[in-house]
C-alpha cells in the first residue's frame, strides 16, 4: 500500500486527512492508578494502513457519515466526540460534515478509533486556521483516550504514563509488516481488567522508557504483557503467530489488546509472499504494510 498525500480544497472549505493504524512493538504494564487506568511502557509504530476522513465546513451542526466497516454513530463515535470537543474548546460558531471511510478493523488492537479522533482534531484545527496549539490539542486528545495523543504525533515513539507521555524515537529500523486481523473483536477494557499486575524489572523498564535511538535487534525486543490474557481466551491466535514465523517473519507479536497479530519482514517481497499464503486460509483481514517514520 503506497502512502498517500492528504488533499485540501483551494479555499480550505474541506480537507482530507489520513488516519494510520499503529502497532505496539513493546507493551509492558507497569502499574495501576487509583482511577483504574493502567500505566504502561510501550513502543508505538504507525504503519501505512489508513482510515480516511473528509472534513467539510458547514454553517451549523455536526454530521458524521461512516462507510467501510460498522462503527458506532453519534456521540458514541470518537470522531464525533473529537469534533464536539473541538468546537466547545475553541468557541467557533460553525459546524462540520465528516465522512469517515473505515479500512482499519474495529477493536483489533490497531488503534483505528483513536487515530480517527486525532485526524479529526488535526483536520478541524487546520480548516479553522489552527486556533488550538499543541497543548490544547493534547489536552483534548487525552480526554478522548489514552492512545489519541500518540496519533497527533504520528511517528514512532516510546510512551509511558497511561500512554500520554511520549518520547519520539529518532531512528528505528525499517520493516515491512504482515498484519493478520481475525474476525473477532477484543475489548481493551476487558483485557486490562484480566491482567494480573506483577513487578517490572527496573533495568528493563529504563531501557524502554529512555532510549532515543533503537540500534538493538527489534525482533528480540518484541514483548506484550496482554498476549497471555487474549491468547488464554482465544488460543487459536497462537497458531497465527506460529504461522508468521514459519513463513519467514523475523519476529511476531500481538498488537495492543489484540486480536491482530503481526510479523516483521526485512523485504517487501517476503512480506507479500507470506501475506498471500495467509490470505488463503485466514478468516479475517491480512494487510501487508510498511512502517512509517
The residues that are catalytic are 22, 147
Would you state the cell numbers that stand for residue 75, as one nine-digit string? 456521540
Q: Which helix (H) or strand (E) holds 39?
A: strand 38-58
Nearest Cα neighbor of 32 from 223, 198, 208, 249 is: 198
Kind of pairing, strands 251-254 and 165-168?
unpaired
Q: Do the Cβ atoms of 262 and 23 come closer than 8 Å?
A: yes
Q: Do the Cβ atoms of 37 and 162 come closer than 8 Å?
A: yes
For residues 173 and 160, give the distance between their C-alpha atoms in angstroms, rounded to a whole number: 21
Q: Do the Cβ atoms of 245 and 252 come closer than 8 Å?
A: yes
Residues sharing a CB contact under 8 Å with residue 152, sequence separation 6 or more, in sequence order: 118, 121, 122, 134, 137, 138, 141
Nearest Cα neighbor of 152 from 64, 72, 44, 243 is: 44
User: 247 in helix, strand or coil?
Assistant: coil
Where helices occur in 132-267 by DSSP H, the ranges are: 134-144, 148-153, 188-194, 202-210, 218-221, 227-233, 237-246
Amino acid at each position: 500500500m503506497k502512502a498517500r498525500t492528504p488533499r485540501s480544497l483551494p479555499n480550505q472549505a474541506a480537507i482530507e486527512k489520513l488516519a494510520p493504524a499503529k502497532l505496539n512493538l513493546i507493551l509492558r504494564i507497569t502499574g495501576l492508578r487509583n482511577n483504574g487506568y493502567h500505566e504502561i511502557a510501550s513502543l508505538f509504530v504507525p504503519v501505512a494502513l489508513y482510515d480516511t476522513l473528509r472534513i467539510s465546513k458547514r454553517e451549523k451542526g455536526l454530521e458524521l457519515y461512516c462507510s467501510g466497516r460498522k462503527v458506532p454513530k453519534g456521540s458514541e463515535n470518537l470522531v464525533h466526540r473529537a469534533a464536539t470537543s473541538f468546537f466547545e474548546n475553541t468557541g467557533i460558531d460553525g459546524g462540520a460534515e465528516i465522512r469517515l471511510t473505515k479500512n482499519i478493523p474495529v477493536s483489533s488492537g490497531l488503534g483505528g478509533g483513536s487515530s480517527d479522533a486525532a485526524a479529526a482534531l488535526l483536520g478541524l484545527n487546520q480548516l479553522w486556521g489552527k486556533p488550538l496549539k499543541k497543548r490544547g490539542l493534547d489536552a483534548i486528545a487525552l480526554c478522548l483516550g489514552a492512545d489519541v495523543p500518540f496519533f497527533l504525533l504520528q511517528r514512532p515513539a516510546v510512551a509511558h504514563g497511561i500512554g500520554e507521555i511520549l518520547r519520539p524515537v529518532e531512528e528505528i529500523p525499517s520493516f515491512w509488516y504482515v498484519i493478520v486481523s481475525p474476525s473477532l473483536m477484543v475489548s481493551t477494557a476487558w483485557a486490562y481488567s484480566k491482567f494480573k499486575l506483577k513487578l517490572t524489572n527496573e533495568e528493563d523498564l529504563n531501557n524502554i522508557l529512555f532510549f532515543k535511538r533503537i540500534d538493538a535487534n527489534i525482533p528480540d525486543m518484541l514483548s506484550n504483557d496482554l498476549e497471555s490474557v487474549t491468547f488464554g481466551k482465544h488460543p487459536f491466535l497462537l497458531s497465527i503467530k506460529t504461522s508468521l514465523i514459519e513463513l519467514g517473519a523475523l519476529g511476531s507479536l500481538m498488537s495492543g489488546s489484540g486480536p491482530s497479530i503481526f510479523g516483521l519482514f526485512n523485504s517487501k517481497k517476503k512480506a507479500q509472499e507470506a501475506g498471500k499464503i495467509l490470505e488463503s486460509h485466514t478468516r479475517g483481514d491480512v494487510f501487508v504494510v510498511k512502517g512509517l517514520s
